[in-house]
Structure 1
Amino acid sequence: MKNIFVAVDFSEASRKAMDYAAALAQSFKTNMTLVHAYYVPVPVGDVPGYIPLSFEEVQQENEAMLQREIEYVTGKFNIPVDGYVRNGFVATVIKDLAAELGAGLLVMGMKVAGKSSSIFGSSVVSAIRKTTIPLLVIPEEASFSFIKQISFAADFKQHPAAGSLAVLEELAAHFDADVQVLHVQKNEAFMTAGEAAGKVGADVSFNRMKHRFYTMVDEDVEKGITDFISTHPTDLLVMVAHHHSIFERLFGTEHTRLIAYRTHVPLLVLHDR
């Protein structure tokens, strides 16, 4: 696996994601890069008694905080770590740095329920929509363990493009994991012709991984996924963000909190582009 990028904002959720990513990097014997993006707004007018920090002072302050995170990781894990601090929006900074340095995986933390008004927060949603890097979202309650059971939420109406499952295949091979391919259908009686064809295509896509197919019947796709995870041990949930698909619409919605907040399972988002 290539360089693992970790988006850092110095929160508890960020530290948890950093720990998980570092353990993953250590297992793969790969590099880890910490990235912190901050945004300095342009002041609208003078505020009595307020003396804003200069850009240089803000940059230095953020660099000092990131250096402490680097020292924390290197002190706990035996892996090479570097870091970058950039002024700008998180998704834009990550996209630019990933292209410049080469990122195989982006890791971001997610606050626990009640601390965020959206499923992941605006930064994670932006990263999903603006970058094509595989994104691993770590809930604040999650801790690293060897990945033995992977649940893949399949949309048989959308067949992933060649290469979009590469990171999943790499993780499954590295940990010798079983992949549970889950399809949630609304009608108990039958699949549509398109879904049946999609299942055949999926079987080909997963032929290099140990996998089994499962079907859940539920009018609510999100609930079907959540119910499956509650009854089938899962160390990692995987979805593909197909363009204009149901899963792309899920990200950032209130309903998806069922998946992220209630399962507490790390979520790997792959891009089909």
Structure 2
Amino acid sequence: MKNILIPTDFSESAEHALKYAQMLARLDGATLTLTHVTQPFIPDTTLPTGDIGIGVGALAAQEMEEISESQLQQLAARLQQEGFTCQTESRMGSVEDEIIALADEQRPDMIVIGRHNFDSFFDRLTGSAASDVAMQAHCPVLVVPSPEEAQGAAIQFKHIVYATQLEFDENHILRPVVDLVRRNNARLTLLKINADNQPDVNNSQEFMAQIKQEFGQERFSEDVVHADNVSEGLTGYIKTHQVDLLVMVTRERDFMSRLLNPSLTKRMVLSSSVPVLVYHAGDTKGADFL
């Protein structure tokens, strides 16, 4: 891994995610790219109309941009003092759009982003910048839950769970996961949820045989859980086992599918109490990012 992109809004959630990025950067001496996105000025209807109102709003936006840039540079300086190679990128615009655009430009090996705590059903329904980035970025994305949701969990990857339905050839994604396991001296569990609402389509044993042939049985253990649905099964497994990282794979779907049936990966990104590392089945870079 050579470059990790870390969006920050200088919140506790962003600081918590940064700790995971630091942990990963230490493995290979990766560069940390810090980015902050300032949202553009939107005229306030309560301000005076005309040039005066616009001027006041624009000045406030400029001050916020300058404050954010100062915070970004201070954060970079702190990381450099701690021995990390660090660079910064300031952007203005829609948070998720700018993060994805920057990732397309820089081609980082991973994005590490914090997820804020959701206080209401509406928060979960509308989603977050973190989930949008995770679903749309063209590189692996690690989404870290807020410190409150993490409940003091250690910053470590000692038990990594790879969620799979064994319906597709996923060896190209498993390769970097197995490498991550090796570098962290961790253990890997391949977890399959037998869900009542999701019948098996393909022969699971065929795909498991392919995995064993390439990686060897000693690289991982297998676990199968029965549940009403996959998200319930994954959530229950995390609650009853010591899991440090959940790895999931998402696949491209059309607009109507996303609208009528939000993806399992997105639901877990929004609700998981442990970090979720999201791969995209179409990624070509994902096979060698570590």
Aligned to 1:35: 35
Q: Does 1:169 align with 2:178?
A: yes
User: Equivalent residues in 2 for 1:53-202 (5 A)?
Assistant: 53-54=58-59, 57-75=63-81, 77-114=82-119, 117-118=123-124, 121-141=127-147, 142=150, 145-160=155-170, 163-186=172-195, 193-202=202-211
Q: Percent identity over the alignment? A: 25
What is the distance in 2 between the residues matched to 1:196 and 1:216?
16
How far does residue 252 in structure 1 lie from its aligned partner after superposition?
4.5
Selected match of 2:263 from 239, 246, 249? 249
**Which amino acid is the alignment partner of residue 157 of structure 1?**
E
Partner of 1:53, secondary structure, is helix
Unaligned ranges ≥5, structure 1: none
Unaligned ranges ≥5, structure 2: 283-290
What is the distance in 1 between the residues matched to 2:36 and 2:4?
14
Partner of 2:79, secondary structure, is helix
Question: Is the 8 Å Cα contact of residues 119 and 251 (structure 1) preserved in structure 2?
Answer: no
Number of matched pairs: 264
What is the distance in 1 between the residues matched to 2:217 and 2:99?
31
How far does residue 204 in structure 1 lie from its aligned partner after superposition?
4.6
What is the distance in 1 between the residues matched to 2:219 and 2:228?
28
Partner of 1:215, secondary structure, is strand
Could you give the per-residue CA deviations for residues 50-100 of structure 1, whole angstroms, max 9, x where no partner exists?
A: 51134654432321121122233334x321111110112233322332233
User: Equivalent residues in 2 for 1:221-260 (5 A)?
Assistant: 221-244=230-253, 249-253=263-267, 256=268, 259-260=271-272
Question: Is the 8 Å Cα contact of residues 5 and 35 (structure 1) preserved in structure 2?
Answer: yes
Partner of 2:102, secondary structure, is helix
Question: Is the 8 Å Cα contact of residues 34 and 83 (structure 1) preserved in structure 2?
Answer: yes
Which stretch of structure 1 is more off in the superposition, 165-174 or 47-56?
Answer: 47-56
Could you give the per-residue CA deviations for residues 144-191 of structure 1, whole angstroms, max 9, x where no partner exists?
A: 53422101111222333x63344423311211222100000125xx95
Question: Is the 8 Å Cα contact of residues 236 and 268 (structure 1) preserved in structure 2?
Answer: yes
Aligned to 2:286: none
What is the distance in 1 between the residues matched to 2:3 and 2:222?
32
Question: Is the 8 Å Cα contact of residues 4 and 21 (structure 2) preserved in structure 1?
Answer: yes
Partner of 1:52, secondary structure, is helix
Which stretch of structure 1 is more off in the superposition, 23-32 or 6-15?
Answer: 23-32
Pick closer, same or farther for the CA change 1:93–1:257 going to 2, 3 Å. closer
RMSD: 3.1
What is the distance in 1 between the residues matched to 2:108 and 2:185?
23
Pick closer, same or farther for the CA change 1:228–1:45 going to 2, 3 Å. closer
Aligned to 2:226: 217
What is the distance in 1 between the residues matched to 2:101 and 2:69?
19
Aligned to 2:9: 9
Pick closer, same or farther for the CA change 1:209–1:124 going to 2, 3 Å. farther
How far does residue 119 in structure 1 lie from its aligned partner after superposition?
7.7
In proportion to residue count, which structure has more helix?
2
What is the distance in 2 between the residues matched to 1:37 and 1:9?
8
Partner of 2:71, secondary structure, is helix
Question: Is the 8 Å Cα contact of residues 5 and 33 (structure 1) preserved in structure 2?
Answer: yes
What is the distance in 2 between the residues matched to 1:124 and 1:12?
15
